[in-house]
A and B are shown apart, each in its own frame.
Chain A
Amino acid sequence: MRATRVLNEALKGSRLIYGSAVLFVGLEAVIGYLPPLLVRFAVDHVIGNEPVDAPRAVLRLVTALGGTAALRERLPLVAAAIVAVALVAGAFSFLHGRLAAGASESLALRLRERLYDHIQNLSYDYHAHSSAGDLIQRCTSDVETVRRFMAIQFVEVGRAAFMIAIAVPILFSIDPGFAAVSLGIVPLVFVFSLLFFRRIARTFRLVDESEGRLSTALQENLTGVRVVRAFGRQRFEADRFDHHSSEYRALVYRLIRQMATYWSLSGMLCVGQIGVIVVYGALLAIAGQITIGTVLLFVTVVTMLLFPIRQMGRVLADMGRMSVALSRLAEILAVPREVDAPDALEPPIRGRIEFDRVCFSHGNRVILRDVTFTVEPGMTVAILGPTGSGKSTLVHLLSRMHDYQRGSIRVDGVELNQIRKRWIRRHVGLVLQEPFLFARTVGENIALARGNALPNDVHRAAKTASIHDVIESFDRGYETLVGERGVTLSGGQKQRVAIARALLQMPPILVFDDSLSAVDTETDARIRRALSVARGDATTFIISHRLTTLSQADLIVVLDAGRVVQLGSHDGLLAQEGMYRRLWAIQRERHEELEQELLHAGEESHERL
Chain B
Amino acid sequence: MNAFEEKAYSRRIDYGIWRKLLGYARPYRTHLSAIIAIMIVIAVIDAAFPALTRYAVDTFIVPRSAEGLGSFAAVYAGMVVLQAFLIWLFIAIAGAVEVGLCYDLRQRGFRRLQELSLPYYDSTPAGWIMTRMTSDTERLGETISWGVVDLMWGSTTMLAIAVFMLVMNWRLALVVLLVVPPLVILSYLFQQRILKNQRIVRRTNSRITAAINEAILGAQTTKALVREDANLAEFQGITGAMRRHSIRTAVVQSLYVPVVLAIGSVGTGLVVAVGGSGVLSGAVSFGVLVAFVSYTVQFFDPVRELARVLTEFQSAQAAAERVMDMIETEPEIVDRPEVIARHGDVFDPRPEHWSRSRGSVEFRDVAFTYQGGETVLSRFNLRVEPGTSVALVGETGSGKTTIVNLLCRFYEPTSGSILVDGIDYRDRGLLQHYRDLGYVLQHPHLFSGTVRENIRYGRLDATDAEVEQAAAHVGAAALIARLDRGYDTEVGEGGNLLSVGEKQLVSFARAILADPVFFVLDEATSSVDSEAERLIQDAIETLLRGRTSFVIAHRLSTVRRADRILVIDSGRIVEDGTHAELIAARGRYYRLFTNQFAHEEDEEALQTLYS
Contacts and interface: CB of A to CB of B under 8 A. Distances in A.
Interface string B448-474: 100000000110100000000000000
A428 to B, nearest CB: 8
A113 B234 CA distance: 11
Interface string B258-280: 11011011101110110011011
A323 interface: no
A451 B438 CA distance: 52
B606 to A, nearest CB: 6
B608 interface: yes
Contacts of B185: none
Contact of A292 (B4, B125, B290): B290
A83 B289 CA distance: 18
Nearest to A81: B269
A16 interface: no
B601 interface: yes
Given A279-B76, A601-B580, 17 more contacts: A90-B261, A101-B249, A117-B232, A218-B110, A222-B121, A224-B445, A231-B457, A246-B103, A279-B73, A281-B61, A480-B1, A481-B3, A487-B3, A586-B608, A594-B601, A600-B580, A605-B584
Contacts of A101: 246-247, 249-251, 254
Contacts of A47: 272, 276, 279-280, 286, 289
Nearest to B447: A220
23 contacts: A35-B265, A79-B268, A79-B270, A83-B262, A86-B268, A136-B209, A211-B134, A219-B126, A226-B441, A229-B410, A263-B88, A264-B91, A267-B84, A279-B76, A286-B64, A401-B224, A425-B226, A432-B224, A490-B396, A547-B605, A590-B601, A590-B604, A604-B584
A123 to B, nearest CB: 9
A83 B96 CA distance: 43
A83 B223 contact: no
B383 interface: no
B220 A72 contact: no
A121 interface: yes
Closest 9 CB pairs of A and B: A97-B254, A90-B258, A101-B250, A256-B95, A86-B265, A79-B269, A230-B439, A260-B91, A232-B434
Contact of A226 (B289, B410, B603): B410
Contacts of A501: 225
B110 A128 contact: no
Given A263-B87, A386-B610, A426 B262 contact: no
Interface in A81-95: 82-83, 85-87, 89-91, 93-94
A547 B224 contact: no
A7 interface: no
B598 A521 contact: yes
A311 interface: no
B218 A438 contact: yes
A135 interface: yes
Contacts of B286: 43, 47-48, 292
Nearest to B434: A232
Contacts, number: 449
A231 B285 CA distance: 80
B257 A97 contact: yes
B346 interface: yes
A204 to B, nearest CB: 15
Contacts of B605: 547, 583, 586-587, 590
A65 interface: no
Interface in A367-395: 386
Among B65, B95, B223, B599, the one with the most A-chain Cβ atoms within 10 Å of its Cβ is B223
B92 interface: yes
Interface in B574-611: 579-581, 583-585, 590, 594-596, 598-599, 601-606, 608-610
A276 B163 CA distance: 27
Given A83-B262, A140-B212, A487-B1, A286 B92 contact: no
A103 to B, nearest CB: 10
B77 to A, nearest CB: 6
Contact of B99 (A106, A253, A547): A253
B250 A79 contact: no
A261 interface: yes
Interface string A101-113: 1100110110011
B69 interface: yes
Nearest to A215: B134
B499 interface: no
A271 B49 contact: yes
Interface stretch (B9-17, B51-59, B166-174, B316-324): B51-59
B290 A83 contact: no
A579 B110 contact: no
Contacts of A602: 583-584
A123 B272 CA distance: 70
A98 interface: yes
A607 to B, nearest CB: 10
Judged by DSSP, the binding face of A is helix
Contact of A263 (B91, B98, B121, B246): B91
A264 B85 contact: yes
A279 B224 contact: no
A446 B69 CA distance: 85
Interface stretch (A172-180, A190-198, A234-242, A340-348): A234-242
Contacts of B212: 112, 115-116, 136, 139-140
A605 B590 CA distance: 14
B277 A75 contact: yes
A86 B88 CA distance: 34
Given A93-B258, A292-B57, A606-B584, A520 B272 contact: no
B493 interface: yes
Contacts of A211: 134
Interface stretch (B33-41, B236-244, B416-424, B482-490): B236-244
Interface string A61-83: 00000000000100110111011
A542 to B, nearest CB: 14
B215 A119 contact: yes
Interface in B77-135: 77, 80-81, 83-85, 87-89, 91-92, 95-96, 98-100, 102-103, 106-107, 110-111, 113-115, 118, 121, 125-127, 129-130, 133-134
Interface in A32-73: 35, 39, 42-43, 46-48, 72
A545 interface: yes
B585 to A, nearest CB: 8
A451 B225 contact: no
Given A218-B134, A587-B605, A229 B215 contact: no
A301 to B, nearest CB: 13
Contacts of B494: 220, 223-224
Contacts of B66: 282-283, 286
Interface in A227-282: 227-238, 241-242, 245-246, 248-249, 252-253, 256-257, 259-261, 263-265, 267-268, 271-272, 274-275, 278-279, 281-282
B83 to A, nearest CB: 6
Contacts of A521: 595-596, 598-599
A121 B227 CA distance: 11
A299 interface: yes
Contacts of A292: 57, 61-62, 286, 290
Nearest to B395: A520
Nearest to A598: B583
Among A91, A231, A241, the one with the most B-chain Cβ atoms within 10 Å of its Cβ is A231
B602 A72 contact: no
Interface in A292-324: 292, 295-296, 299
Nearest to B244: A105
Contacts of A487: 1-3
A604 B585 CA distance: 12
Contact of B239 (A109, A216, A260, A448): A109
Contacts of B210: 439
Contact of B609 (A39, A94, A579): A579
Given A221-B113, A257-B92, A295-B61, A39 B602 contact: no
Given A225-B118, A265-B84, A128 B225 contact: no
